[in-house]
């Protein structure tokens, strides 16, 4: 991918963002009425739907079993995707999501039941894991499932000696290092971390910092959305007391 | 299932009249108090001597107990609640009932008022998918509910419609059975399930519903029931609390639109 | 299908955990010690066996000429097959390809007798270091054994080369870490990687001398496979509760996930032809899973400075 300038001399990225700028995030809670909780998020051109369903018997006796299903719509990528789920990448993603939320949900509060998290990527433009985590967090909050904290995920890369945050598909496929972090933003605890491609150890700290900062920014946006949603409904409920 | 997706930006702002933020609103991970004198209730957890919220909702304080009430949740049963349930499984001595709680509820054979004191085969009483009305007898340690239908008020429900709503929309009242003047009866189950049926059916004859009346329901009654159902759904759509008066008022208001 | 692993008994589990809390390990190592590594090369080129403690991995490289992908005519292809027991360990290979001269449209492949085989060009050699975390990151072990992995909360795998470049990094498991802990691990990894790289170079030197090839001719190439076995879900920490009672998952996909194997490929190939790495790994813990992965090497994966721009 030589010739593609990921970061211009003026400090702009391919899509016109600066290094520390996230893509535009728009989200909505409670998009389905049948599911226990649901959410929809757009991070730039990556669009993800998440839904939560609960309650099934005969599972773990002392805590809830968190189950995930990650799938990508066949129309979500540039070329038609053959299998929406079950391929290697989806399976890996499913496992990562399950581990992420297993650590964040207060699992001991729901013995003998199961929480199913369904994530559907409707359009993919990089950062699928991040958008999926953020959408699933919103859906869990919508469903009223107890969480330690929000789980926010953000990606980062390292181009021309400067870390860039929330990378899109072009930046992802440029062969530059990609680091994906999911954190509990308030305590800055890392729930999930993955990196590929080469990055010098000295820069690791910088890039992780950038990604964690990105997670905090994402948190601000999500929190605002949740507060809007809750206060809107609570006002009509007449819960102010 | 209808999916409603719109680009958030293109959506009109549906801000309510005074949607200024409620002061006691918390989201997961928010610190509610660092004072250790409080008791931890639902929707909260302790970490590093701080009481934190685990769900998004409104903080409620009862003396020393702090809870966070989430907007939407599965039904958390309390003893004495009236619930509507659907039979999921017929066992040897008990039924499993879906009451929209986290775990399936249990209705023991011993907690059922048997018609005439005779022992009848369980299958004859409540079949799979039958709708039943019951009261919460006790709550097990894991949060699952034990139900009873010991009063003749409770029991199998015959002909009518069930509406599934969020439990938080049902206002707690002394009575949850209402025979509305419009010719239909409504049972507002605490678990968010609502039953609408023609008046004068099993509610009056006090047999516990085991003698079924399978006569066809009159067209006029059916129209009333459908209208009531739509009224209930309309209230729920706008997140209005449901109780006899609100339903009745909505019903009366809806009469202006005879063709709906 | 994979058989369910025998779970550790509660007392064994408690014993290991309490030993770790006392900074002791079952095999007498210090928390940050690596196990003994032994590298032996086979008689044939491209075969190597590595032993790390009780973990044994055999790797074999073979190559053949194939048609390159139409979309990337100047790139070769690399395939890696992994058959493994549920253990994580790095394997190393020595492989070489026959020399090829391209003359116009004619492609001639010299047999080994005619011309010395050329080594594959690998520009760097990533080494994998595994860290296991206990008690929410309070205790840290380097290179955990099978049993230690069974009782851990989560693990972190760092792939790094001797230039201190991180090639892959993954944190998995049900635990919460702080950034400092991640950085500390990467610092430890630097030390371990330097040691292991040294070891491999020594082994390769010995092998070269043993084979009696002229010195000064760079004829072999190391292809390093990093095989990570993702942690099985049931290994989650359940405190003093019983272990191994992970509920059956509702989706069959998840069953397969448990033996998901991630392959990392960091290697290189000269243009216009294909090399096929084919490695077979067998461990002494019974062959109970079999996975295959295919990967296409693209030009972007080549970090050979001469080929980038």
pLDDT class for A176, splitting at 50, 70, 90?
Answer: confident
Query: What gap in Å lies between CA B80 and CA B91, rounded to an integer?
Result: 24
Q: What is the mean pLDDT of residues B135-145?
A: 85
Tokens for C242, please give them.
Answer: 């019983």
Domain that holds residue C155: 10-55+109-242+258-301
Last residue of a domain, one of B36, B70, B104: B70
Q: What is the pLDDT of residue C121?
A: 55
Please name every residue paired with C223 in a beta bridge, in sequence order, or none if there are none.
Answer: C93
Residues found in chain B: 260
Q: What is the pLDDT of residue A170?
A: 87
HSE-CB of C184 using CA atoms within 13 angstroms? 15
Q: What is the pLDDT of residue A42?
A: 94
Contact present, B120 and B126 (Cβ < 8 Å):
no
A195 located within any domain: yes
Same domain, residue pair B42 and B117: no
CATH of residue A123's domain is: 3.30.230.70
DSSP 8-state secondary structure symbol assigned to residue C34: P
C78 located within any domain: no
Same domain, residue pair B147 and B52: no
Same domain, residue pair B34 and B86: no
∠ Cα C6 C9 C12 (to 5°): 120
Shortest alpha-carbon distance between residue A11 and chain B (Å): 28
Same domain, residue pair B192 and B230: yes
3-class SS at A231? helix
Q: What is the pLDDT of residue B114?
A: 62
Query: How many structural domains are present in chain B?
Result: 2
Shortest alpha-carbon distance between residue C24 and chain A (Å): 27
Q: What is the pLDDT of residue C78?
A: 62
A231:B239 CB<8 A: no
C170:A193 CB<8 A: yes
| Residue A41 vs residue C308, higher pLDDT | A41
CATH of residue B182's domain is: 2.40.50.140
A189 located within any domain: yes
Q: What is the pLDDT of residue A222?
A: 93
Mutate to test the interface with B, among A43, A146, A216 (most CBs of B within 10 A): A146
Same domain, residue pair B154 and B212: yes
Q: Which residues of A touch B24 (CB under 8 A)?
A: 240-241
Q: What is the mean pLDDT of residues B10-34?
A: 68
Same domain, residue pair B187 and B122: yes
Mean pLDDT of chain B: 79
B166 located within any domain: yes
Same domain, residue pair B187 and B123: yes
| Residue B154 vs residue C112, higher pLDDT | B154
Nearest to A196 by CA among A172, A215, A161: A172
Q: What is the pLDDT of residue C193?
A: 83
Nearest to B160 by CA among B193, B126, B189, B195: B195
Burial annotation B209-233 (CB, 10 A radius, 16+ → b, else e): bbeeeeeebeeebeebbebbbebbe
A2:C309 CB<8 A: yes
Query: How many structural domains are present in chain C?
Result: 1
Domain that holds residue B50: 23-70
Other C-beta atoms closer than 10 Å to the C-beta of A90 total 22
Same domain, residue pair B92 and B45: no
HSE-CB of C76 using CA atoms within 13 angstroms? 20
Q: What is the pLDDT of residue A150?
A: 92
C164:A67 CB<8 A: no
Residue of chain C with shortest Cα separation from A209: C179
Same domain, residue pair B128 and B64: no
Same domain, residue pair B48 and B88: no
| Residue A141 vs residue C231, higher pLDDT | A141
Q: What is the pLDDT of residue A126?
A: 87
A141 located within any domain: yes
Of A99, A174, A199, the CB nearest to C166: A199
Domain that holds residue A53: 25-237
Last residue of a domain, one of B38, B70, B102: B70
CATH of residue B59's domain is: 2.40.50.100
Query: What gap in Å lies between CA B34 and CA B36, rounded to an integer?
Result: 6
Query: What gap in Å lies between CA C266 and CA A178, rounded to an integer?
Result: 15
A170 located within any domain: yes
Q: Range with the lowest mean pLDDT among A157-171, A217-231, B31-45, C260-274?
A: C260-274
DSSP string over chain B: -------GGGSPP---TT-PPPTTEE-TT-EEE--TTSEE-TTEEEETTEEEESSSEEEEEETTEEEEEESS--B---TT-EEEEEEEEE-SSEEEEE-SBSS-EEEEEEEE--GGG----HHHHS-TT-EEEEEEEEE-TTS-EEEEE-STT-EE--S-EEEE--GGGBPP-S--EEE-TTSEEEEE-TTSEEEEEETTSHHHH-STT-S---PPPPHHHHHHHHHHHHHHHHHHHTT--B-HHHHHHHHHHHTT-TT-
Most confident of A81-90, B41-50, B109-118: B41-50
Q: Is C23 in CB contact (< 8 Å) with chain A?
A: no
Q: What is the pLDDT of residue C98?
A: 37
Same domain, residue pair B133 and B61: no
| pTM for the predicted model, two decimal places | 0.74
Query: How many structural domains are present in chain A?
Result: 1
Q: What is the mean pLDDT of residues B118-143?
A: 69
DSSP 8-state secondary structure symbol assigned to residue C37: E
3-class SS at C184? helix
Q: What is the mean pLDDT of residues B183-203?
A: 82
A13 located within any domain: no
Q: Is B88 in CB contact (< 8 Å) with chain A?
A: no
Shortest alpha-carbon distance between residue A2 and chain B (Å): 35
B75 located within any domain: no
Give percent of chain B with pLDDT exceeding 70.
78
Q: Which residues of A touch C174 (CB under 8 A)?
A: 99, 102-103
Query: What is each CA distance from C309 to A6, A180, C91, C298, C302, in whole angstroms?
Result: 15, 28, 31, 14, 11
Tokens for B56, please give them.
Answer: 């998004």
CATH of residue C184's domain is: 3.30.230.70
Q: What is the mean pLDDT of residues A149-169?
A: 91
At B186, give phi and psi (nearest 5°): -135, 135
A65 has a pLDDT exceeding 90: no
C63 located within any domain: no
Query: What is each CA distance from A120 to A70, A72, A168, B69, B251, in whole angstroms?
Result: 6, 5, 18, 29, 39
A9 located within any domain: no
Task: Scan residues 87-116 of C and list those with Cβ closer than 8 Å to A.
Answer: none
| Residue A229 vs residue C123, higher pLDDT | A229
Query: What gap in Å lies between CA B227 and CA B237, rounded to an integer?
Result: 15
Q: What is the pLDDT of residue C132?
A: 85
B103 located within any domain: yes
Mutate to test the interface with C, among A68, A87, A197 (most CBs of C within 10 A): A197
CB pairs under 8 A between A and C: 126
Same domain, residue pair B99 and B131: yes
A146:B45 CB<8 A: yes
pLDDT single digits (tens) A44-53: 999 999 999 8
Q: Which residues of chain C have pLDDT under 70?
A: 1-6, 43-46, 62-66, 68-69, 72-124, 211-309
Tokens for A129, please give them.
Answer: 């894991």
C256:A91 CB<8 A: yes
Q: What is the pLDDT of residue A48?
A: 95
Contact present, B148 and B80 (Cβ < 8 Å):
no
Give percent of chain B with pLDDT exceeding 90.
8
Give percent of chain A with pLDDT exceeding 90.
37
Q: Is B13 in CB contact (< 8 Å) with chain A?
A: no
């Amino acid at each position: 991918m030589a010739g593609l300038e990921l970061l211009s001399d003026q400090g702009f990225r391919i899509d016109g963002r600066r290094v520390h700028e996230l893509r535009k995030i728009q989200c909505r809670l409670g998009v389905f009425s049948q599911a226990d909780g649901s959410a929809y998020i757009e991070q730039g051109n990556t669009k993800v739907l998440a839904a939560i369903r609960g309650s099934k018997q005969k599972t773990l006796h002392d805590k809830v079993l968190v189950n995930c299903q990650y799938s990508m719509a066949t129309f979500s990528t540039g070329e038609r995707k053959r299998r929406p789920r079950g391929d290697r990448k989806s399976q890996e993603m499913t496992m990562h999501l399950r581990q992420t939320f297993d650590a964040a949900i207060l699992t001991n509060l729901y013995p003998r039941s199961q929480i199913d998290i369904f994530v559907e990527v409707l359009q993919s433009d990089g950062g699928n894991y991040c958008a999926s985590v953020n959408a699933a967090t919103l859906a869990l909050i919508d469903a009223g499932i107890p969480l330690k904290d929000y789980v926010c995920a953000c990606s980062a890369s390292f181009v021309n000696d400067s870390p860039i945050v929330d990378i899109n598909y072009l930046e992802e496929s440029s062969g530059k290092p990609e680091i994906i972090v999911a954190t509990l933003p308030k305590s800055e605890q890392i729930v999930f971390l993955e990196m590929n491609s080469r990055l010098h150890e000295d820069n690791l700290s910088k890039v992780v910092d950038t990604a964690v900062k990105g997670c905090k920014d994402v948190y601000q946006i999500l929190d605002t959305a949740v507060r809007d949603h809750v206060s809107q409904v609570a006002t009509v409920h007449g819960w102010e007391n | 299932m209808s999916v409603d997706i719109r680009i958030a930006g293109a959506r009109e702002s549906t801000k309510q009249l005074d949607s200024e933020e409620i002061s006691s609103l918390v989201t997961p991970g928010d610190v509610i108090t660092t004072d250790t004198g409080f008791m931890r209730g639902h929707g909260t957890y302790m970490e590093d001597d701080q009481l934190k919220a685990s769900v998004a909702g409104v903080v409620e304080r009862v003396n020393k107990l702090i809870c966070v009430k989430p907007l939407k949740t599965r039904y958390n049963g309390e003893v004495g609640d009236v619930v509507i349930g659907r039979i999921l499984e017929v066992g040897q001595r008990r039924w499993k009932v879906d009451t929209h709680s986290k775990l399936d509820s249990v209705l023991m054979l011993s907690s059922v008022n048997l018609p005439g004191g005779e022992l009848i085969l369980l299958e004859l009483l409540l079949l799979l998918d039958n709708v039943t009305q019951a009261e919460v007898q006790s709550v097990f340690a894991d949060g699952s509910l034990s139900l009873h239908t010991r009063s003749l008020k409770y029991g199998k429900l015959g002909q009518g419609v069930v509406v599934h709503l969020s439990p938080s929309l049902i206002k707690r009242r002394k009575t949850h059975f209402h025979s509305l003047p419009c010719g239909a009866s409504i049972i507002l189950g605490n678990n968010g399930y609502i039953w609408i049926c023609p008046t004068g059916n099993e509610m009056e004859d006090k047999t516990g519903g085991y003698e079924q009346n399978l006569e066809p329901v009159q067209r006029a009654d059916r129209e009333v029931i459908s209208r009531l159902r739509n009224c209930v759904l309309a209230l729920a759509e706008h997140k209005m609390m449901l109780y006899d008066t609100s339903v009745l008022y909505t019903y009366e208001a809806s009469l202006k639109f005879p063709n709906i | 299908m994979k058989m369910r692993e025998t779970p550790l008994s509660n007392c064994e589990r408690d014993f290991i955990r309490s030993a770790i809390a006392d900074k002791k390990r079952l095999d007498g190592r210090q928390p940050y010690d690596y196990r003994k590594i032994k590298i032996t090369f086979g008689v044939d080129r491209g075969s190597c066996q590595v032993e790390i403690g009780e973990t044994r991995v055999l790797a074999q490289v073979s190559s053949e000429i194939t048609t390159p992908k139409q979309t990337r005519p100047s790139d070769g292809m690399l395939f890696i097959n992994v058959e493994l027991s549920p253990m994580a360990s790095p394997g190393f290979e020595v492989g070489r390809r026959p020399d090829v001269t391209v003359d116009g449209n004619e492609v001639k492949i010299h047999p080994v007798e005619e011309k010395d085989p050329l080594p594959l060009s690998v520009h760097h050699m990533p080494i994998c270091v595994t860290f296991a975390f206990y008690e929410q990151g309070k205790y840290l072990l380097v290179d955990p054994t099978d049993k230690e992995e069974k009782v851990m909360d989560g693990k972190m795998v760092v792939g790094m080369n001797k230039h201190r470049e991180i090639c892959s990094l993954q944190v998995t498991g049900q635990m919460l870490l702080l950034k400092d802990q991640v950085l500390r691990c990467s610092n430890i990894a630097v030390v371990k990687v330097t040691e292991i790289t040294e070891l491999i170079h020594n082994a390769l030197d010995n092998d070269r001398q043993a084979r009696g090839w002229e010195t000064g001719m760079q004829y072999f190439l190391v292809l390093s496979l990093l095989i990570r076995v993702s942690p099985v879900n049931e290994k989650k920490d359940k405190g003093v509760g019983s272990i191994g009672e992970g509920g059956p998952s509702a989706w069959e996909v998840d069953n397969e996930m448990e033996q998901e194997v991630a392959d990392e490929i960091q290697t290189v190939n000269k243009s216009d032809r294909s090399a096929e790495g084919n490695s077979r790994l067998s461990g002494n813990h019974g062959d109970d899973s079999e996975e295959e992965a295919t990967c296409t090497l693209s030009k972007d994966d080549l970090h050979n400075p001469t080929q980038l721009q």
